[in-house]
Amino acid sequence: MRIHRFLIDFPLTAADGVLNDHEIVHQMTKVLRLQKGEQVELFNKTGEEAKVLISEITPNKVFFVVLEKEKNETEAKKVILAAAIVKRDNFEWIVQKATEIGVTEIIPLHTQHSIKFGVQIHRLQKISEEAAEQCGRRSVPVIREPEEFMDVLANSKEKNKYFFDMGGKSFGTSKKSDSIILFVGPEGGWSEGEREEAKKAGCETMSLGKTVLRSETAATVASYLAVN
Least Cα distance to 185 among 135, 219, 138 occurs for 219
Least Cα distance to 155 among 166, 164, 167, 144 occurs for 144
If you write DSSP's letter for every residue of 52-70 in order, what string do you get? EEEEEE-SS-EEEEEEEEE
Residue extents of the structural domains in the chain:
5-70, 78-227
* Tally of CB atoms within 10 A around 165: 19
Residue 72, pLDDT score: 61
d(CA 69, CA 49): 6
Residue 224, pLDDT score: 94
Asked if 79 and 182 count as a contact pair (C-beta separation under 8 A), the reply is yes
Q: Residue 91: enclosing H or E segment and its boundaries?
A: helix 88-101
* Tally of CB atoms within 10 A around 213: 17
The amino acid sitting at 199 is K
pTM: 0.82
The mean of the pLDDT values for the chain is: 90
165-218 pLDDT per residue, tens: 988 888 876 666 778 999 999 988 999 999 999 999 999 999 998 888 999 999
Per DSSP (E only), the strands in the chain are 5-7, 16-19, 39-43, 49-57, 62-70, 78-84, 105-110, 142-143, 147-148, 160-170, 179-184, 204-207
Q: Tally the C-alpha atoms within 13 A of residue 40's C-alpha that lie toward its C-beta.
A: 25
Out of 3.40.50.720, 3.40.50.1820, 3.40.1280.10, 3.90.550.10, the CATH code matching 78-227 is 3.40.1280.10
108-159 pLDDT per residue, tens: 999 998 877 778 999 999 999 999 998 888 889 999 999 999 999 999 988 8
Written out in words, the top-level CATH class of the domain with range 5-70 is: mainly beta
d(CA 26, CA 67): 23
